[in-house]
Structure 1
Amino acid sequence: MTYEGWLLDLYADGPRGVALWLVTDDDRRVRLCQRFPVRFFAAGPGPRLRALWRWLRGREPAPGLAREERRDLFVAERLPVLAVETADPAGLQPLFAEVEREFPDLTYYDADVPLTVRHAAAFGSFPLARCRAEADEQGNVRAFEVLDSPWALDPALPPLRILEINLPEGDPQRTPPTRLELRFRAWKQSYPWVAGSAPAAWLRAALQKLDPDIVLTDYGDTWLLPELLRRGQAPLSRDPAYPLRTVEEHTYFSYGQIVYRGQQVHLYGRVHIDRQNAMLWRDYGLEGILENARVTALPIQTAARISPGTGISCMQMQTALRDGVLVPWHKQQVEQPRSMLSLIQSDFGGLVYQPRIGLHFEVGAIDFVSLYPAVMVRCNISPETQARPLSQPPAPNPGLIPRTLAPLLHKRVALKTWAAKLPAWDPRRKSIRARTAAQKWLLVVCFGYLGYKNARFGRIEAHEAVTAGGREALLRAKEAAEDLGFAVLHLYVDGLWVQQAGCRTAEDFEPLLAEVTRRTGLPIALDGVYRWVAFLPSRGNRRVPVGNRYFGVFTDGSLKVRGLDARRRDTPPWVTAVQMGLLECLAQAVSPEDLKPAAAEALGRLRRELARLREGKVPLEDLLCAQKLSRPLEKYTHPSPAARAAGQLQAAGKRTAAGQRVRFLYVRGEERVWAWDLPQTFDRRCLDVGMYRKLALRAAADVFQPFGIEPEELYALMHNAARVPLFPLPV
Structure 2
Amino acid sequence: MARLSGWLLDASIQNREAVLWIKTADGRAVRLTDPYNPDFYVRLKDNADLGEAATVIGQHPNVLEAHVDWRYPSVAERRRTEVIHVTVDGSRSFKGVLADLEGLGYIRDWFNVDILHIQRYLFKRGFAPTQKLEVELDAGRVLRKATVLDDGVEVAPPPFTPLIFRLEVESGRPEPDPEKDPIKAVTILDESLAVEEALEGEEEWVLKSFQEEVLRRDPDLLIAPDCVELTLQYLMERFERRGMIPQLGRERSNTHEEWRPRGQPIPGRVALGLDSYLQDGMAGIVERSRFAMVPMGLASRWAPGRLIDSRQCYEALRRDILIPKLRSPPVYETTVKNLVFMDRGGLILSPITGLHENVAILDFESMFPNILIKYNISYETVTPRGVNHSKPGFLGELTKRFLERRLHYKRLRKVFPKDSTEWRWCEQRQSALKEILVCIYGFSGCDVNRYGNVYTYAKINEVSRGLLVRAINVSRRMGYRVLYADCDSVFVQRDWASREDYEILAAQIQEELGLPIALDKHFKFLVLLRQEADPDIEATRRYFGKLTNGELFYRGVELRRHDYPPFLKEFEERLMGILFDAETKEEVEQRQYMKAVEYVVRMLEEVASGSIPPESLIITKMLRRPLDSYRALSPHVSAAIQMIQSGRRLKGGHSPYLSPPINFIYVNAEHPNPFRRVMPADMINGDHHHYDREKYQEMLLDVAETVLGWKGFTGEGLGFKKKPRSLIEEVKNRGRKY
Instruction: Report which stretch shifted further, 233-242 or 428-437.
Output: 233-242
Aligned-pair CA distance for 1:608: 4.1
Instruction: Report which stretch shifted further, 29-38 or 665-674.
Output: 665-674
Aligned-pair CA distance for 1:630: 12
User: Does the C-alpha gap of structure 1 residues 387 and 459 become closer, same or farther in structure 2, counting only changes over 3 Å?
Assistant: closer
Instruction: Report which stretch shifted further, 358-367 or 85-94.
Output: 85-94
Is 1:511 aligned to 2:504, yes or no? yes
Is 1:64 aligned to 2:65, yes or no? yes
Aligned to 1:488: 482
CA distance in 1, matches of 2:74, 2:62: 33
RMSD, aligned CA? 4.6
Aligned to 1:210: 217
CA distance in 2, matches of 1:457, 1:501: 49
Provide, for residues 166-200 of structure 1, a one-character-per-residue CA deviation record: whole Å limited to 9, x for no partner: 56999997998656234489997423322544326
Aligned to 2:19: 19
Provide, for residues 98-145 of structure 1, a one-character-per-residue CA deviation record: whole Å limited to 9, x for no partner: 655886974221112234543443333122211110001110011111
Is 1:564 aligned to 2:563, yes or no? no
User: Does the C-alpha gap of structure 1 residues 626 and 212 become closer, same or farther in structure 2, counting only changes over 3 Å?
Assistant: closer
Provide the secondary structure at the position in 1 that maps to 2:206: coil
Instruction: Report which stretch shifted further, 158-167 or 513-522.
Output: 158-167
Residue pair 1:663, 1:677 contacting (<8 A) in 2 also: no
Residue pair 2:189, 2:197 contacting (<8 A) in 1 also: yes
Aligned-pair CA distance for 1:495: 0.3
2:405 aligned partner, one-letter code: K
Residue pair 2:74, 2:322 contacting (<8 A) in 1 also: yes
Aligned to 2:206: 199
1:78 aligned partner, one-letter code: R
Aligned to 2:294: 298
CA distance in 1, matches of 2:158, 2:7: 6
From 455, 461, 466, the equivalent of 2:460 is: 466
CA distance in 2, matches of 1:187, 1:351: 46
CA distance in 1, matches of 2:657, 2:187: 31
User: Does the C-alpha gap of structure 1 residues 181 and 426 become closer, same or farther in structure 2, counting only changes over 3 Å?
Assistant: closer
Gaps of 5+ in 2: 177-182, 724-738
CA distance in 1, matches of 2:478, 2:437: 31
Residue pair 1:42, 1:108 contacting (<8 A) in 2 also: yes
Residue pair 1:668, 1:687 contacting (<8 A) in 2 also: no
Aligned to 1:703: 707
1:558 aligned partner, one-letter code: E
CA distance in 2, matches of 1:372, 1:12: 37
Provide, for residues 536-583 of structure 1, a one-character-per-residue CA deviation record: whole Å limited to 9, x for no partner: 112455443122221223223333322224444555666555545544
Residue pair 1:71, 1:79 contacting (<8 A) in 2 also: yes
Aligned to 1:445: 439
Provide, for residues 660-682 of structure 1, a one-character-per-residue CA deviation record: whole Å limited to 9, x for no partner: 78958665544536899999979
User: Does the C-alpha gap of structure 1 residues 404 and 462 become closer, same or farther in structure 2, counting only changes over 3 Å?
Assistant: same
Aligned-pair CA distance for 1:47: 4.0
Provide, for residues 52-107 of structure 1, a one-character-per-residue CA deviation record: whole Å limited to 9, x for no partner: 75774454333421222321226645333222212434653554456558869742
1:239 aligned partner, one-letter code: E
User: Does the C-alpha gap of structure 1 residues 213 and 651 become closer, same or farther in structure 2, counting only changes over 3 Å?
Assistant: closer
Residue pair 2:475, 2:481 contacting (<8 A) in 1 also: yes
Aligned to 1:234: 246
Residue pair 2:21, 2:268 contacting (<8 A) in 1 also: yes
Provide, for residues 259-297 of structure 1, a one-character-per-residue CA deviation record: whole Å limited to 9, x for no partner: xxxxx8843322222214x3xx55433332222212222
Is 1:336 aligned to 2:323, yes or no? no
CA distance in 2, matches of 1:428, 1:95: 50
1:375-390 alignment, distance < 5 Å: 375-386=371-382
Aligned residues: 691
Aligned-pair CA distance for 1:625: 3.4
Aligned to 2:729: none
Normalised TM-score (structure 2):
0.80
Instruction: Report which stretch shifted further, 432-441 or 44-53.
Output: 44-53
Aligned to 2:599: 604
1:530-549 alignment, distance < 5 Å: 530-539=523-532, 541-549=534-542
Provide, for residues 458-483 of structure 1, a one-character-per-residue CA deviation record: whole Å limited to 9, x for no partner: 11111100000101111121122222
CA distance in 1, matches of 2:491, 2:316: 39
Provide, for residues 578-632 of structure 1, a one-character-per-residue CA deviation record: whole Å limited to 9, x for no partner: 5455445556666547744487368637854884584573239922434757999
Is 1:33 aligned to 2:33, yes or no? yes
Is 1:413 aligned to 2:417, yes or no? no
Aligned to 1:181: 188
Is 1:350 aligned to 2:349, yes or no? no
Residue pair 2:264, 2:270 contacting (<8 A) in 1 also: no
Aligned to 1:127: 129
Is 1:623 aligned to 2:622, yes or no? no
User: Does the C-alpha gap of structure 1 residues 537 and 188 become closer, same or farther in structure 2, counting only changes over 3 Å?
Assistant: closer
Provide, for residues 437-488 of structure 1, a one-character-per-residue CA deviation record: whole Å limited to 9, x for no partner: 1111101211111121111111111110000010111112112222222221
CA distance in 2, matches of 1:247, 1:687: 52
CA distance in 1, matches of 2:613, 2:636: 28
Aligned to 2:450: 456
Is 1:404 aligned to 2:398, yes or no? yes
Instruction: Report which stretch shifted further, 84-93 or 120-129.
Output: 84-93
Residue pair 1:363, 1:533 contacting (<8 A) in 2 also: yes
1:234-273 alignment, distance < 5 Å: 234-240=246-252, 266-273=265-272
Residue pair 1:215, 1:271 contacting (<8 A) in 2 also: yes
1:2-151 alignment, distance < 5 Å: 2-15=3-16, 17-45=17-45, 47=48, 56-73=57-74, 76=77, 77-89=79-91, 91-93=93-95, 95-96=97-98, 99=101, 106-148=108-150
Instruction: Report which stretch shifted further, 82-91 or 24-33.
Output: 82-91
User: Does the C-alpha gap of structure 1 residues 389 and 454 become closer, same or farther in structure 2, counting only changes over 3 Å?
Assistant: closer
CA distance in 1, matches of 2:87, 2:643: 48
CA distance in 2, matches of 1:436, 1:187: 27
Provide the secondary structure at the position in 2 that maps to 1:304: helix
User: Does the C-alpha gap of structure 1 residues 551 and 3 become closer, same or farther in structure 2, counting only changes over 3 Å?
Assistant: same
Is 1:529 aligned to 2:530, yes or no? no
User: Does the C-alpha gap of structure 1 residues 171 and 682 become closer, same or farther in structure 2, counting only changes over 3 Å?
Assistant: farther
Q: Percent identity?
A: 22
2:8 aligned partner, one-letter code: L
Aligned to 2:160: 160
CA distance in 2, matches of 1:129, 1:54: 40
Residue pair 1:668, 1:686 contacting (<8 A) in 2 also: no
Aligned to 1:287: 283
User: Does the C-alpha gap of structure 1 residues 56 and 186 become closer, same or farther in structure 2, counting only changes over 3 Å?
Assistant: same
Is 1:500 aligned to 2:505, yes or no? no
User: Does the C-alpha gap of structure 1 residues 239 and 578 become closer, same or farther in structure 2, counting only changes over 3 Å?
Assistant: farther
Provide the secondary structure at the position in 1 that maps to 2:479: coil
Gaps of 5+ in 1: 249-263, 720-731
Instruction: Report which stretch shifted further, 359-368 or 680-689.
Output: 680-689
Residue pair 1:225, 1:265 contacting (<8 A) in 2 also: no
Aligned-pair CA distance for 1:417: 2.6
Residue pair 2:112, 2:324 contacting (<8 A) in 1 also: yes
